[in-house]
Chains A and B, each alone.
Chain A
Amino acid sequence: MKDIESQFKDIKSKITLSSAEKDFHRGEIMNFMEAHPAKPAASIKSPFFTWGQFLQRHYALAAFMLLILGGTGVLTSANGAKPGDALFGVKVNMLERARIVLSFDQASKTSLEVKFIDERLKEFAEWSTNEDASPEEVATLSNTLASQILKVHDDIAVLRDNQDLDGALVAASDLQSTLAAHAEVLGQIDPKEASVDVVNSITDTVEDSLLLTKGIVDSVAGEMTSSVDDAISSETVDTKQQEVSETIENISKDIIEDSTNLDSNDKETIQDSLDNIAGLLSEADIKNKRGSSTEAFILSTQADQEANKLRISIEAEQQFGINSVDDSEGDTPPQQE
């Protein structure tokens, strides 16, 4: 039996108007419009995106917010705010939102939202090692995270509505990759007794969202492969590969050099992962050159997931002492502050 979402999709594709029915009602509505002419004051805002709307509303508001915040020095302080800090709300509700609004297009906006989800999850990992965090701070973090994930799902739906399947697939796979990596780290957290429920609750949110996101990735990929015209472009594959290369570069430069918390087992695991990522990228490159761009994208996405998982595991181990890179016996015990 198909899953419910697929069945809904089947129903959706079957309850349709025929072209003749649609034309008939269009004619009836046009006749009605002729019989009911408009008064001069009437105003219809286009259901489609226009630069005018963008400039009039969102851009002006976001620019104003940045001007005020920047001018008062709040901007710099809020940027590094953590849950529980007075400026955390400013960072999430104003600063991050303003950056999202100022994004050039829907795809960049969604990509930025995924980045902020990554931030929230890192903040949570940090919180899990901090005994002083209050339940209110955690509740704020948990609610913010859930609504941010939901927003990305909604925005992916918008990309699909706009027929930007490339953008929808990139955003969904980015989110999947981020959630999968953090789910792994959350599984390694050994919470203090008082925090068990909270850690479990966040883990459930991440795992549920991961399942939902995987479904979205499959559904968008299915939609793309069912239409030759909508096959993923080789530029999108190149961009994804570039992202993976940058992640690997960052891992090599910033993390491995400062390997105070990493023991020999960890280093071996990291090297294995890097080899695996390089293999996936090389395979993707071959597929892309042969014109199998969708297959190449899927391989690049797997490489991206591996790279993100590695990056987040190393960060969690180094910064918060969560034993997440290699959890076999003989690892360096997590360092608690």
Chain B
Amino acid sequence: MKEGDKQKFIESYDTYAESIFRYCYLRVHDRERARELMQETFTKTWEYLVAGKSIDSLKSFLYKVAHNLSVNEVVRHKSVSLDELEETVGFEPKDEERASPEEDTEISLLLSKMKELSPKDQELLSLRFMSGLAISEMSEILGEKPNTITVRVKRALEELREKIKPQ
């Protein structure tokens, strides 16, 4: 492996660390654990590469690894309910970026309503709107056809809209 490849990998960390962290956070709802999972995503990917295997799209591969690690994490901690997570962990914006109470209420409402969706739908919305992934990238990560992803994202978004609509 060339020295330049190491540099490329570190550049990839600088590019994707934030969005992988966000993706993990929205799956496990725990900031510290999300940081660990983000780091593990990069070290696992590095292990894969040094084993002599090649990767076509590093971005998609990183999300695939993060997806698998998060699924394992959620299964491991299944005994903790989502409601419990919301109460104990809650929404944790950085102190210096704290929004107005109204904005925080809106965001908390959105997050709590998102948790009422199926885990698959939560993941779809998170990948599409929080990670900003293209449909083609989501298709590669989740192993489903682009049309299926499009329809499911649209449905999940509609369902979420219905849930947050004032009664």
Binding site for B on A (CB under 8 A): 1-2, 4-5, 7-18, 21-22, 25-26, 28-30, 32-33, 36-48, 143, 146-147, 150, 154, 157-158, 160-161
Contacts and interface: CB of A to CB of B under 8 A. Distances in A.
A68 to B, nearest CB: 25
B77 interface: no
B5 A47 contact: no
B108 to A, nearest CB: 10
A42 B150 contact: no
Contacts, number: 145
B43 A29 contact: yes
Contacts of B54: 42-45
B52 A4 contact: no
Nearest to B6: A33
Contacts of B130: 8, 11-12, 15
Contacts of A26: 10, 13-14, 17
Contact of A42 (B5, B39, B103): B5
Contacts of A143: 147
B1 A40 contact: yes
Interface residues of B, number: 60
B78 interface: no
A15 B26 contact: yes
Contact of B110 (A7, A32, A146): A7
B42 A17 contact: no
A39 B107 contact: no
A52 to B, nearest CB: 13
Contact of B51 (A9, A28, A39): A39
Interface of B: 1, 5-6, 8-18, 21-22, 25-26, 35, 38-39, 42-43, 46-47, 49-59, 93-94, 97, 99, 103, 106-107, 110-111, 125, 129-130, 132, 134-136, 146-147, 150, 157, 160-161, 164, 166
List the 8 shortest-distance A-B pairs measured between CB atoms, nearest first: A38-B1, A14-B93, A154-B134, A8-B129, A41-B52, A43-B54, A38-B50, A42-B1
Contacts of A4: 110, 157, 160-161, 164
B97 A13 contact: yes
A47 B13 CA distance: 11
A57 to B, nearest CB: 10
Nearest to B5: A44
B136 A161 contact: no
B110 A42 contact: no
Contact of A25 (B26, B39, B103): B39
A225 B54 CA distance: 41
A43 B54 CA distance: 5
A45 B55 contact: yes
Nearest to A6: B106
B17 A17 contact: yes
Contacts of A48: 11
A47 B125 CA distance: 24
Contacts of A38: 1, 5-6, 49-50
Nearest to A39: B52
Contacts of A5: 129
Contacts of B107: 7, 10-11, 14
21 contacts: A1-B106, A7-B107, A10-B99, A11-B111, A11-B130, A14-B93, A25-B13, A25-B39, A25-B42, A29-B13, A32-B46, A33-B6, A36-B46, A38-B5, A42-B49, A42-B53, A44-B5, A47-B8, A47-B12, A150-B146, A154-B136
A16 B59 contact: no
Nearest to A13: B97
A218 to B, nearest CB: 16
A26 B5 CA distance: 16
Contacts of A47: 8, 11-12, 15-16, 57-59
A44 B150 CA distance: 30
Given A22-B17, A42-B53, A45-B54, 19 more contacts: A7-B107, A8-B129, A8-B130, A11-B107, A14-B94, A15-B93, A15-B130, A25-B42, A28-B39, A30-B10, A32-B43, A33-B6, A36-B50, A37-B1, A38-B5, A42-B51, A154-B134, A157-B132, A160-B132
A46 B8 contact: yes
A4 B158 CA distance: 10
